[in-house]
Amino acid sequence: MSAHDAGADAVVVDARGLRCPLPVIRLAAAARGLPAGTVVTVLSTDPAARHDVPAWARMRGHATVGEAGTTRDDDGATTWSITVRLGATT
């Protein structure tokens, strides 16, 4: 499942331009209080987020359901889209 398949009700955390650990901190803040089953997509230009977001999801009882990278033509930076489905605990 890609971030685009996650559905119209997905929550998006735009952490582009932020370095570790801020993408995960922003994700945790956005997830707080959301119901189980909610899909949250993190957008990040920090390559570490590709490992940090799934690790955070595993530790919190959530599931990583998608990852995709796209390269912007203007500056060549890759934006990673990592999608998590929240479990019963946030």
Active site residues: 20
According to DSSP, residue 4 is labeled: G
- Give the sheet arrangement for strand 39-44, strand by strand: 11-14, 39-44, 78-85, 63-71
- List, as one string, the DSSP characters of 33-50: TPPTT-EEEEEES-TTHH
